[in-house]
Amino acid sequence: MLVNTNFMLKNTYLRFKTYQNTNKYFILVGIFCLFSYTCLIAQPIVEKHMVGKKIEGLVKENEGLRMLIVGDWGKNGQSGQQDVADWMGVAAAQIGARFVISTGDNFYPTGVASTDDPQWWFSFENVYRSHSLNVPWYAVLGNHDYNGNTKAQIDYGKKSMRWKMPAPYYTMAQGNVRFVFIDTCPFVKGYQNNRKSYPDLAAQDTTRQLQWIDSVLANSRETWKIVVGHHPVYSIGDHGNQHELHTQFKPILEKYKVQAYFCGHDHNLQYHHLPNTSVHYLVSGAGGAEHTPIHATQAGVIFAKETNGFMTVQVKKETMLVCLIDEKGTIIHQVSVGLKGK
């Protein structure tokens, strides 16, 4: 009997491929089901115990731009970070926040090593899971971020739909608001004198950045101007006033009548405003790192509290409302800023 070996080999191969493809199909289906189940189980971990929770006194304005501002948070969900994240989710849903701003020190203690660093999951993706926080996150770099790979934080935006840091400093306009995100770390002499701990500082040109900030603000036609950086101009926290920002940034902010400067670095919530200046200085560095004490007061201090927390900001045509909210979901202070900074 003649045997058609070619036919048998072809038939065997086709059966094997069918078996192989079927197995691949079931494997893929299994992975998808497992992933879906994990999402269904894990996603509500933050939200389940927050269902029905509201922040008393937090009112959604009928018009304008709404956002959250948080800083100094990347602690693997520990040290109060998760509590703050939970209430951020509530606040974002309550006011309909369009985005979140991070004032730096996004990852402790030494930034991230790469775009695949586990910190992205354990300190960011797996902490800020509320659906209301699935919005763009505009971030700046802090000193702890400079201990690691700063380019990885810029490049992560190519992998993430919500992480936005196109450069160490950048600008954007949202309606009638001009945002200027600055990189304050290269201006701090203590870091420049310790390049071993802050290797990426060498690539930063402070003169060029100052010229860029001046140019952006000079050419801005938006009625509101908000600047975001990591280090404070004014603070009564552990770090205190940052001298380099006093001498180099403060004159620019006042020259162009910037209404607000938001920052972090000190792990608490503060509000400063001096007479005869348009600039309101707000410290939002209480996102999850261990909060630090408030020290002796100084001129211009309106409010300061040692606590974890964040801020909500709602910018209308003529006014900007800022709510300082602690880790228990309580509004501890409110700020109303007029268009002319009063």
- How far is CA 113 from its chain centroid? 18
Please say if 239 is a catalytic residue: yes
The β-bridge relationship of strands 260-263 and 309-315 is: unpaired
Catalytic site residue from 239, 272, 295, 333: 239
CA distance 3 to 70: 75
Closest to 316 measured CA to CA, from 140, 64, 74, 137? 64
Amino acid letter, 156:
Y
Q: How far apart are the C-alpha atoms of 169 and 141, rounded to whole Å? A: 9
Residue for token pair 């008393």:
56
Task: For residue 262, give Cα distances in angstroms to 43, 71, 99, 330.
Answer: 31, 10, 15, 20
Place of tokens 């304005």: 61
Which is nearest to 291 in space by CA: 72, 35, 66, 23? 72
Both tokens of 244, joined, read 């380099």
Query: Which are the catalytic amino acids?
Result: 239
